Structure 1
Amino acid sequence: MGYRRGKSLSRDLEKQSYDRETAVGTKGMVVSPHWAATDIGEKVLKEGGNAVDAAAAIQFALNVVEPMMTGIGGSGFLMVYDNKKKDVKIYDGHTRAPKGVHPEMFLDEKGEVVDFRKRSTHGTAVGIPGILKVMDKAINEHGSKTLADLIQPAIDAAEKGFKVNWVLEEALQNFQYRLGKEAKAFYFPEGKSLKEGDTLVKEHLAKTFRILQKEGISAFYEGEIAEAIVSNLKEEGGIMTLEDLKNCRLTIDEPIWGDYKGYKIASSAPPSAGGLTVIQVLKILETFDLSQYDARSWEKYFLITEAMRLAFSDKIAYSGDPECSSLPIEGLLHDDYIAERVRAINFERRNDAIDFGNPWKYQDGKPNQVIRQPDDLEKSETTHFTVVDQWGNIAACTSTVEHPFGSGIMVKGYGFLLNNELTDFDANPGGINEAQPDKRPVSCKSPTILFKDDKPILTLGSPGGPTIIGSVFQTIINIIDHKMNLKEAIEEPRIFASAGPLIEWEPGISMEAKGEMESKGFEFGDKPSRIGNVQAIQIDHEKGRLYGAADSSREGKAAGITEDQIKVS
């Protein structure tokens, strides 16, 4: 039996999974967390579509096969690299707050924070979904196929039915408490959970997709689907109105840029704190020579843990929606501020005094008030997929319904789940991330592209809430500092820490190093757990090859395209 980040498998099954999860191509590459979605994206590329076309088709497909992770009732960040223009843009379809929200919305009558499970499965947790706006805008600006064509494969899959895999079965078993009445009846027919191998048909979702196919996404934000969303939320105590949906808007943003050991990095911009925090962690680590340490040494674990704790202390204090607040982005990445943060790291012992710093010293602006928040959030789930096409364009998307199955509210007769993303606002009001109308809560999504000599050489991302940041930067250092190939870099067991001393860890880390870390004041969770689900593509310009790798923690697939596979129209 060999260890895998998803499951322990026999050698034959492990080889089959490895073959599915890795690929080489010359004219295109698709990597997603579910083989069926990858197959759909691959077909789009073979039929002459581009990266954005394939990404849109994958997004719709994942709503069918990964409903606990993503869907049209959620949001996402799509990073697009236009190879002709040599330009990177982020299509930000992050959820926005309805007009009826207020800063105290997650406090009870006594002024105390409502329990997370209760507040995250209530109608007030649902933000205005933005992922459809993203796909529609990106297709209009970059796509070569119609939205109707790109939805069709997902319709086929929903109507024909698909086999439930172990990932969905596990999610149903672990998170059935999140499901509302409609969703519970669908996923637990006759009161029994769906199991791996069961066939699941989604007639209502197919109906919804056909409406979008015929009428466009306006039907979601203004038409009959919008009316169904608002009606359902009203029954669940929600506050979203038809006007909120009609006024939904997205932004097209510049990425956050950084450098690491000769590589330029483009990653997500606020309101996602992910890209900024990934780059801050890497800037802290760049002052050390990680390559001198073994990938599973206590020294490496020590450095990346303290770097995460420093960066996350700042993230918690200074992350918000740039439309609503000034953010100290320049200060957080200022070389003098990074040097100040590095001085907090001492190999003798964990720094018990790590807290947020003062990046405003290095940037003009009015410092924000920092309000401490309850540590009651549960682990969120998301999905990431990425595509490179025959023209060298890149699409990298991280999309979500937030926590597993989102709010658990399924729109009656339309077959999709609504997000619980408003619980990403601070529960205790007064800070930079408090709930306000039309505001976007802080996210950690981190679709990322690395460049060398101004050419893209790596695109990657991961789900996992705050752990997204850890998964992305650890994959990067595994490639750059530890010289691993792409698959090795993804499968290397990861650790994660936020601002406190507690470390999440995956099976396979060095037990000797773990013991050494514990002797220096760190605490490890009682049991290991899976952290993230990285999907990535590496581009070798000299050899003219693309290398794709999917993380084994789900049933992902990488598919490479060669010139002879592309249909000539």
Structure 2
Amino acid sequence: MGKDFKTRSNRSKFDRETATGKISMAASAHPVATDAGEKILKEGGNAIDAAIAIQFGLNVGEPMMTGIGGSGFFMVYHAESKTVKIFDGHTRAPSAAHSKLFLDDNDEVIPFRKRSTHASAVGVPGILKAMEEARKEYGTKPLADLIEPAAQAAEKGVDVNWVMDQSLKNFEYRLGDHARELFMPGGKGLCEGDVYQKEHLAKTFRILQRDGIESFYEGEIAEAIVSTLKDLGGIMELSDLKSYRISIDEPVWGTYRGHKIASCNMPSAGGTTMLQILKILEGFDLSQYNAKSWEKYYLFTEAMRIAFSDKIAFSGDPEFGDIPLKGMLNEEYLANRRELINFERRNDSVDFGNPWAYSDGKEINVVRQPFEPDKERSETTHFTVMDKWGNIVACTSTVEHPFGSGIMVKDHGFVLNNELTDFDAVPGGLNEIQPGKRPVSCKTPTIVFKDDEPVLTLGSPGGPTIVGSVFQTIVNVLDFGMDLKEAIEEPRIFNSSGPLIGWEAGISMESKGKMESMGFEFADGPFPIGNVQAIQIDREKGLLYGAADSSREGKAAGLDD
């Protein structure tokens, strides 16, 4: 296993991060959120109800990662009908957005830090509408009941954990004035062990309980959002909030080692890219290799490079242009792409392929974007729930980069996203900025099925690294036979279009050296990649296993009756 749980303190941590249950399970990246979901399950709520409570709880415990000022893909497996739907609450560009929004007067790309902390980076938030549509279709409890645990936690006060402490130290530069008042009282950042009240956020939650989600898009909260942004040179209008709409999407489907996999569809490229990687890897017998062998790292890296080259070139909002999705997942196409893997060295000729030859639609030019290392550091959160009826929710939600745009809505206690920076800064491609359009995402909420029954639900935060975290966890379970916690904790690697391989502490140094001799470059030091939350369903034993990644203060909770 990647981490050592032998000491008493680590044993306690392991116990918090893992759980078994006979009828239901919840897992998230923060105890306040998991406790909120567990409370709803105990009170007879279903997975949809509990997941909504968790999302509100995460806005209290992980405000730098997610919140009502952001977006999310809320995936629901409905057990009775055996259907999977994605309630797509991804952000949309305001009506005043245009293709050169992030270019300066000389048509040069504005540096990422500058453009991502400006009011023009804020997209119309969608997570609230996505959850409300899911609640209306599948939920059993009033919205006010689902908000209540988080509202009480915000009023009582929140312990600053090591994750928030670290985020404030690393990303203080992202904080605007109102956010500094909350997170840096007296000019000094909150530290681990501090307790702070979230009075303004609690007030916002009480408004939502009283007036419903509509107050966010048309009422008092909407007015506060637009007023805050206007004061900072933003482009959002009240009409943008009022006209916001979600979509209810089919998942993207694939197969791997006799399993069916449902994952997030465009405009999130996460599911497609993850399924491409798995399909490329399916051509190799991974079980013959050790989990820390150079062969495994080599195959993972080259498969990621191949799939991400397609992701960057061919992903976009399907409402605004044709996506060669059919071609990207065509087995003949992927078999041809697999031939780029030679086991001899890093294949420097890896680039995007031609999925249009296997797909329908109007081909569009590929516009290459500048590589920006800062952009790779986006964060998010993931949570998942299964109830006693067999319903499942897997949701990845975000404010994009840590603390989003850094802009906190005045007197309302939540930060706004910087998700418009997920559009291409250089226009002309599938992912160029247009009014009402959704930027490409990498969110990958996923459910794995065997014999048409769910056996695993998982996801992760981490920007592009989400894809790497999800596919590696699946491979660890299905190919290497690890239990769920081992599969999550096995140290991960990641590579996309950039030159460097990211890596976690605990990978084999011998295998790393072998890879370097084959032309690969690794980042100077290790860092956490993703934060997987997952539930595994053992139908033979009638048990659910939940696990939270140790890279945050996650918690899993199961119920037996």
2:181 matched residue in structure 1: 185
2:443 matched residue in structure 1: 445
Structure 1 residue 59 and structure 2 residue 58: aligned? no
- Look up the SS of the partner of 1:306 in the other structure: helix
Structure 1 segments (4+ residues) deviating >4 Å: none
Letter in 1 for 2:130: V
Instruction: Using the TM superposition, give the Cα deviation of residue 3 of structure 1 relative to its aligned residue in structure 2, in angstroms.
Output: 6.6
2:295 matched residue in structure 1: 299
Instruction: Using the TM superposition, give the Cα deviation of residue 11 of structure 1 relative to its aligned residue in structure 2, in angstroms.
Output: 1.1
- CA deviations on 1:95-146 (whole Å, 9 max, x unpaired) are 0000000000000011100000000000000000000001111111111101
After TM superposition, the structure 1 stretch with the greater mean CA deviation from structure 2, 35-44 or 25-34, is 35-44
- CA deviations on 1:299-345 (whole Å, 9 max, x unpaired) are 00000100000000000000000000100000011111011101111
Distance across 2 between alignment mates of 1:283 and 1:193: 46
Instruction: Using the TM superposition, give the Cα deviation of residue 184 of structure 1 relative to its aligned residue in structure 2, in angstroms.
Output: 1.0
2:452 matched residue in structure 1: 454
Judge conservation of contact 1:350–1:521 (CA < 8 Å) in 2.
Answer: yes
Q: How is 1:219-258 mapped onto 2 (pairs within 5 angstroms)?
A: 219-258=215-254
- CA deviations on 1:30-81 (whole Å, 9 max, x unpaired) are 0000112111111111110000000000000100110000000000001100
2:124 matched residue in structure 1: 128
- CA deviations on 1:277-309 (whole Å, 9 max, x unpaired) are 010000000000011000010000000100000
1:567 matched residue in structure 2: none
1:491 matched residue in structure 2: 489
Kindly tell me the number of residue pairs found equivalent between the two proteins.
559
1:194 to 168, 190, 203: 190
Instruction: Using the TM superposition, give the Cα deviation of residue 152 of structure 1 relative to its aligned residue in structure 2, in angstroms.
Output: 0.7
Distance across 1 between alignment mates of 2:32 and 2:8: 21
Structure 1 pair 284–378 and aligned structure 2 pair: CA distance change class (3 A): closer
Distance across 2 between alignment mates of 1:10 and 1:387: 28
Distance across 2 between alignment mates of 1:67 and 1:373: 30
2:273 to 274, 277, 284: 277
Letter in 1 for 2:235: I
Instruction: Using the TM superposition, give the Cα deviation of residue 368 of structure 1 relative to its aligned residue in structure 2, in angstroms.
Output: 1.2
Distance across 2 between alignment mates of 1:270 and 1:231: 32
2:307 matched residue in structure 1: 311
2:467 matched residue in structure 1: 469
Letter in 1 for 2:88: D
Distance across 1 between alignment mates of 2:509 and 2:496: 21
Letter in 2 for 1:462: S
- Look up the SS of the partner of 1:438 in the other structure: coil
1:422 to 414, 420, 423: 420
1:436 to 419, 434, 437: 434
- Look up the SS of the partner of 1:58 in the other structure: helix
Judge conservation of contact 2:90–2:246 (CA < 8 Å) in 1.
Answer: yes
Letter in 2 for 1:179: L
Distance across 2 between alignment mates of 1:382 and 1:45: 24
- CA deviations on 1:418-471 (whole Å, 9 max, x unpaired) are 000000000001111000000000000000000000000000000000000000
1:357 matched residue in structure 2: 353
Instruction: Using the TM superposition, give the Cα deviation of residue 9 of structure 1 relative to its aligned residue in structure 2, in angstroms.
Output: 8.1
1:532 to 524, 530, 548: 530
Judge conservation of contact 1:298–1:516 (CA < 8 Å) in 2.
Answer: yes
TM-score by length of structure 2 reads: 0.99
Q: How is 1:377-416 mapped onto 2 (pairs within 5 angstroms)?
A: 377-416=375-414
Judge conservation of contact 1:426–1:435 (CA < 8 Å) in 2.
Answer: yes
2:544 matched residue in structure 1: 546
Instruction: Using the TM superposition, give the Cα deviation of residue 364 of structure 1 relative to its aligned residue in structure 2, in angstroms.
Output: 2.3
Distance across 1 between alignment mates of 2:542 and 2:553: 28
Distance across 1 between alignment mates of 2:232 and 2:203: 23
- Look up the SS of the partner of 1:322 in the other structure: coil
1:509 matched residue in structure 2: 507
Distance across 2 between alignment mates of 1:343 and 1:298: 19
Letter in 2 for 1:216: G
- Look up the SS of the partner of 2:20 in the other structure: strand
1:90 matched residue in structure 2: 86
Letter in 2 for 1:479: V
- Look up the SS of the partner of 1:314 in the other structure: helix
Structure 1 stretches lacking a partner, 5+ long: 564-569
1:175 matched residue in structure 2: 171
Structure 1 residue 47 and structure 2 residue 39: aligned? no
Distance across 2 between alignment mates of 1:139 and 1:364: 35
Letter in 2 for 1:137: E
- CA deviations on 1:179-216 (whole Å, 9 max, x unpaired) are 00110121111111111111110000000010000000
Distance across 1 between alignment mates of 2:361 and 2:262: 25
After TM superposition, the structure 1 stretch with the greater mean CA deviation from structure 2, 499-508 or 13-22, is 499-508
Instruction: Using the TM superposition, give the Cα deviation of residue 374 of structure 1 relative to its aligned residue in structure 2, in angstroms.
Output: 1.3
- Look up the SS of the partner of 1:148 in the other structure: helix
